[in-house]
Amino acid sequence: MQIHVVQQGETLWAISRQYGVTVTQIVTANELENANRLVVGLALVIPTPHRTHTVRPGETLWMIAERYGITVQAIIRANRIADPARISPGTVLIIPFPKPVIDVNAYTITPGEEGARQIREVGRYLTYSSPFPYIMREDGGLNAINDTPIIQASFSERVAPILCISNFTPRDPGSRLAHTILSSTEIQDRLLTNIINIIKTKGYRGLNVDFENVYPQDRELYNQFLERAVERLHPAGYFVSTALAPKTSGEQKGLLYEAHDYPAHGRIVDFVVLMTYEWGYRLGPPQAISPLNQIRRVLDYAVSVIPRNKIFMGFQIYARDWLLPHVQGQQAETFSPQEAVLRAIRYGAAIQYDPVAQSPFFRYTDAQGRNHEVWFEDARSAQAKFDTAKDYGLRGISYWVLGYRYPQNWLLLEDNFSIRKLI
């Protein structure tokens, strides 16, 4: 893939001629609704030609992979081969260039069949799926979600499902609940027994613990709970992971941060998901949701105390639209990056790009005369994040959250990485 930023007066026909591809290829890759309507600053992914190999008599995929220094799985993925044993002479195969191998996780907050559809839609790009969440109770029980269709869809896509547990809801930050559980080994034992039973019954492959807003004084109790979790789950063959607030130092103050002990989590659990998003909070002022300069500050600290092969960088895949002037507590609208592009086109708003945050944004005036500011993700910001994951040598990327159209992301993800499959 290449990225092209639309300039004043350009047409898709002219852009297609420049790169030697068809207008249809560009429209399809970017899911454009109208090939004749562009806007200045729109970042387009341009599908460029691959190198190819014509299968000779007697050749196998293994022989072809050896010749080009790539894996058989890379060829299978690039060509969507259903039966690797049946490759006929004369078949023209796309030969992808060698790419780093990473793990990719994606959370979904949509239960049932709709959540399953989301997994099937992007499952080829995922290592793990994380239906979110089972809410913990004070007695060590868990409030279940309708996750069976999601788990079934995950296995059909060779995606390993992760059981996610959490202590907070939109109505309750969960601090007192966390204290109640972390203060009692008896409650923790019941909780861990329930976790293991659900994992076994449902077919989950591991656990993701998302304790948020934990009182600072409960920091060591949280670490001890994780040690108990590992002691119970590892012998049964299950991994343990955690979700961590985006810290930039071990001394960072605040309810979100202080009880999240990066060195301890790095030592105890199998991997961590850094929640490197939500700077552009829906109730706060307009700004980039996942500014890369802030993400790099978090990563600089994280890699100093956590092994790099245990770190997932969080990546939000939604956009936000704030009314201007911003009023404290006024809620921004959340929608897909694709909808952000459509709004820019609809209102004829030139898309700008913040070189520090590495994020696109634009402003427009609606039919009621109200001013808006929109921050979102595009091909440039996705590529910048993928380059960052490579620069830091991270284990992988974790998406929050499925359900938002962002076709450029998935094309570029596959263009940059080989995605590890565990099942």
Task: Tell me which residues are annotated as active site.
Answer: 212
Residues 377-413: tens digit of each pLDDT: 999 999 999 999 999 999 999 999 999 999 999 999 9
The answer to whether residues 215 and 231 belong to one domain is yes
Nearest C-alpha neighbor of 41 from the set 375, 380, 350, 374:
350
The answer to whether residues 77 and 107 belong to one domain is no
Q: What is the pLDDT of residue 48?
A: 85
- For CA atoms 193, 226, 153, 33, give the dihedral sign: positive
**Which of 61, 80, 95 is the last residue in one of the domains?**
95
Q: What is the pLDDT of residue 298?
A: 98
Q: What is the pLDDT of residue 85?
A: 86
CA 187 to chain centre: 32
Q: Give percent above pLDDT 70 in the chain.
A: 100
Residues 138-169: tens digit of each pLDDT: 999 999 999 999 999 999 999 999 999 999 99
Q: Is the pTM of this model over 0.75?
A: yes
Residues 326-336: tens digit of each pLDDT: 998 899 999 99
Report the amino acid identity of residue 59. Answer: E
Q: How many CA atoms lie within 13 A of 102 on its CB side?
A: 28
Decide if 364 is inside a domain.
no
Whether 312 contacts 398, CB under 8 Å: yes
CATH of the domain at 83: 3.10.350.10
DSSP 255-306: TTTTT--HHHHHHHSSEEEE----SS-TTS-S--SS-HHHHHHHHHHHHHHS
DSSP 110-134: --HHHHHHHHHHHGGG-SEEEE--E
- Report d(CA 157, CA 122) in Å as an integer: 9
The answer to whether residues 89 and 123 belong to one domain is no
The two structure tokens encoding residue 49: 């030609």
Q: Is the peptide bond before 401 cis (omega within 30 degrees of 0)?
A: yes
Could you tell me the CA-to-CA distances from 262 to 19, 102, 241, 307 in Å, in that order? 46, 21, 12, 10
Decide if 41 is inside a domain.
no
Nearest C-alpha neighbor of 312 from the set 355, 269, 271:
271
The model's confidence at residue 86, banded by pLDDT at 50, 70 and 90, is: confident
Decide if 354 is inside a domain.
no
